[in-house]
Structure 1
Amino acid sequence: MKIGLIKEGKKPADKRVSFTPSQLATLAEKYEGQLSFFVESSQIRCYTDLEYQEAGIKVVDDISFCDLLMGIKEVPIEHLIDNKTYLFFSHTIKKQSHNRNLLQAILEKNITLMDYELLKNQNGVRTVAFGRWAGIVGAYNSLWTYGQKSGLFDLKRAFDCFDREEIKRELHKVQLPPIKIVVTGTGRVAKGVMEVLDEVGIRSVLQKDFLVQYFDEPVYTILCGSDYNRRKTDGGFDKEEFYNSPEKYESHFLKYAEVSDILIAAAYWDHRAPKLFQLEDIRSEDFSLSVIADITCDINGSVPTTFRVSTIADPVFDVDRNTFRELSAFGKQTSISIMAIDNLPTELPRDASEEFGAQLTAHFIPELLHEKSPVLDKATITKDGDLTIEFIYLKDFVDEKENLEKDNEEY
């Protein structure tokens, strides 16, 4: 099998890659005679063509001879090659309307599409993801935003740092007053957030103490779904019911917004679930949040002030508390500053790619050698010009023309 790493074509360009040069060299040696690897020439990738060539990997201008084509972000329709097998984050399985045309084209071109988001172990747990790096960069950017807003310190932008080690050195500049930071989520993304907050020396405290106690140092608390969602009928919480029927619940997050300075939203959100707060709530004098880092990046989702995604080049916009209008970043001291970059890991692309490639090496590559792989079957959305059985629910989405709300993208 010939495996090719494609050049990223989506704009803005993503610098990440599925495998580093050294990882491909190791794989080529280990699976000699079974798998061979090629890299499409790219000027934007975080690892240069020369680095791959020095590792003994062939760099080519035409990748169309390969059997499996691997990318990171969605492949532009005009770049798709008929009758090939692709693996990338397609952002289609939640009926994301902005990628309807992409899925239609994949079916028309008889492409077999696999999605990283669907690679899972026997327990249904995802085996490859960039979540930790979204959390690391998202937390760093939240501190950068607070530094810019307050004028207390000035960090280098994350994408200007060469690697994770430089990020650590930059964090030494952070000098915080006794503020409170609330973090939603307990998964990979939230754990990445905690890494950064712990490195800065911000103490983690229990939710009940966070709400009622004064601290003479900066602190943070981590919230799971049961901490800020309750059943409408009786105020209770049942995890299985919440995941299956989130519309039966309401948010009681406001009590945290009233004592916190920074919100880092790192929890997956179902569009049926309640929002953390309502837009009208930010008018209240009790609403204390001044910086929101929305790592989830759901437009008008769990964080209603996320009117749009921001970009690495223009990372922050402000929201006026009274008019709800968007302002330029840090345009008003009383406004709320929103950081909502939707491709955070690409700010540290070398580190993120190395960890991602290690996950693929352990969990994906061995599956390619099996004559029949249930893991890959379950990760396959389209095959032979049609949707696979597991994703037949997308048929109406492909066929119909209704406007569907854009859902959260995977990092």
Structure 2
Amino acid sequence: MHLHLRDEARESEQRTPITPSAAEKLIRDGWRISVEASEKRAFSDQEYQNSGCAIVEKGSWTTAEPGTVILGLKELPAEPPTLTNRMIHFAHIYKDQHGWREEMERFRGGGGVLYDIEFLVDRNGRRAAAFGYWAGWMGAALALWRHLARTKGRDAPQTPLRSFGGREAVTAEIRQLVEGGTSLPRCIVIGAKGRSGTGACDALKAAGCPVTEWDKEETSNLDRAALLSHDLLVNCVLMTGPGLLLLDHSDLARPNTRITTISDVSCDPLSDYNPLPVYNAPTTWERPFIEIGHNGGGHAIELTAIDNLPSLVPLEASEDFSLQFLPVLQSFDDGEEWCAAKAVFEEKMHLVTAGA
């Protein structure tokens, strides 16, 4: 098995799906691993080389020999126009996102296969590996940090955002604001029982915030008035189909709306399934918060929806993900999770081929 770890196209993406120690274990199992040189990855090229990996030129995945498995995290760059290899990454194209058909055409044109990490699930439908905890933790922490700073009239956190050395660096900033006598917001986490929701609740509770935790039971019969009575909303719901609307533009200025800060950890604004249709594109490290309206008290409502939140704490997030992912990778490509991901790919490819 030849595995090729590509350098991420996105400049702000510092995470990796396999750490040097995980790569070393795969090499002991007989795998051959090439790692593209990268100045931004959380682990250095030298660490991978010391683990037995071959360091190759960045972008060389585009000319990898047939049979090579290309591993990455986030979406691919626009070139090459056709994809010939088996590819493993988060593609974000299976929920009717804009451009999904064009991306599938690249696979159809080259004969490649996509194993979307989001759809590596076991027989119970549980994802085999995810960055969810750190996405939830960072999304909630960032929103709380901004909310507290605003109450003190401060413009924080400083932008553009930069990766933090670890969670303690973020926690220290929040602690400083709390110790300064700032009142804590009343928070609500939607999807609280999942990985992301657990991380969000942990971040908010660690700061001492009162947290309302909602999951399927509460969203199946949504009490929108109760939802709008909170100060800070964190959405961690993984949408797989239509049916859930948390709030829209008509809810923002209602007299009973207290919300001033929203963190959309799920961040799926390009999908028709988006439960928060109050924005139309992810926010960025350069501009992490946008104003989307005013609440019932006339206060500005700010929203953050960064689609690679765990990269703000890349070392911890990568180590956690790699521990989950390694045993799954060792079963490539006939393990149940890989079969599940390939079945979804083939279903979508059938739609493209049939012109549906």
TM interval, short-chain normalised: 0.7 to 0.9
Q: Aligned equivalents of 1:398 and 1:118: distance in 2?
A: 21
Pairing 1:375–2:346 present: no
2:6 touches 2:36 (CA, 8 Å); kept in 1? yes
Q: Aligned equivalents of 1:77 and 1:286: distance in 2?
A: 45
2:82 touches 2:109 (CA, 8 Å); kept in 1? no
- CA deviations 1:252-272 (Å, max 9, x no partner) are 222231x21111111223552
What is the count of residue pairs matched by the alignment?
A: 342
1:306 touches 1:340 (CA, 8 Å); kept in 2? no
Query: How many Å apart are 1:147 and its aligned residue?
Result: 2.5
Pairing 1:53–2:79 present: no
Counterpart position of 2:227: 256
Distance change (3 Å), C-alpha of 1:398 and 1:284:
farther
Q: Mapping of 1:194-213 within 5 angstroms?
A: 194-202=201-209
Q: Aligned equivalents of 2:322 and 2:240: distance in 1?
A: 29
Any idea what SS the aligned residue of 1:268 has?
A: coil
Any idea what SS the aligned residue of 2:14 has?
A: coil
Q: Mapping of 1:312-327 within 5 angstroms?
A: 312-321=285-294
Query: How many Å apart are 1:46 and its aligned residue?
Result: 2.2
Q: Mapping of 1:4-153 within 5 angstroms?
A: 4-9=4-9, 11=10, 13-29=12-28, 31=29, 34-61=30-57, 62-63=60-61, 64-65=64-65, 67-79=68-80, 82-151=83-152
Q: Aligned equivalents of 1:375 and 1:88: distance in 2?
A: 14
Counterpart position of 2:237: 267
Counterpart position of 2:166: 163
Any idea what SS the aligned residue of 2:176 has?
A: coil
Letter in 2 for 1:111: G
Query: How many Å apart are 1:173 and its aligned residue?
Result: 1.8
Structure 2: stretches of 5+ with no match in the other structure = none
User: Which deviates more from structure 2 when the two are superposed, residues 180-189 or residues 281-290?
Assistant: 281-290
Letter in 2 for 1:275: L
Letter in 2 for 1:224: D
Letter in 1 for 2:316: D
Letter in 1 for 2:223: H
Any idea what SS the aligned residue of 1:45 has?
A: coil
Query: How many Å apart are 1:309 and its aligned residue?
Result: 1.5
- Aligned equivalent of 1:395, options 347, 350, 356: 350
Pairing 1:345–2:351 present: no
Q: Aligned equivalents of 1:155 and 1:284: distance in 2?
A: 29
Structure 1: stretches of 5+ with no match in the other structure = 203-218, 231-250, 323-331, 402-411
Q: Report the TM-score when normalising by structure 2.
A: 0.86
Query: How many Å apart are 1:166 and its aligned residue?
Result: 2.6
Letter in 2 for 1:132: Y
Query: How many Å apart are 1:17 and its aligned residue?
Result: 1.2
Letter in 1 for 2:211: Y
2:163 touches 2:314 (CA, 8 Å); kept in 1? no
Q: Report the TM-score when normalising by structure 1.
A: 0.75
Of structures 1 and 2, the larger Rg is shown by 1
Letter in 1 for 2:204: L
Query: How many Å apart are 1:318 and its aligned residue?
Result: 0.8
- CA deviations 1:263-301 (Å, max 9, x no partner) are 111122355214112322222222111111111223283
Letter in 2 for 1:357: S
Letter in 1 for 2:39: Q
Distance change (3 Å), C-alpha of 1:83 and 1:304:
closer
Counterpart position of 2:186: 180
Q: Aligned equivalents of 2:120 and 2:130: distance in 1?
A: 9
Any idea what SS the aligned residue of 2:212 has?
A: strand
Letter in 2 for 1:200: A
Q: Percent identity?
A: 24
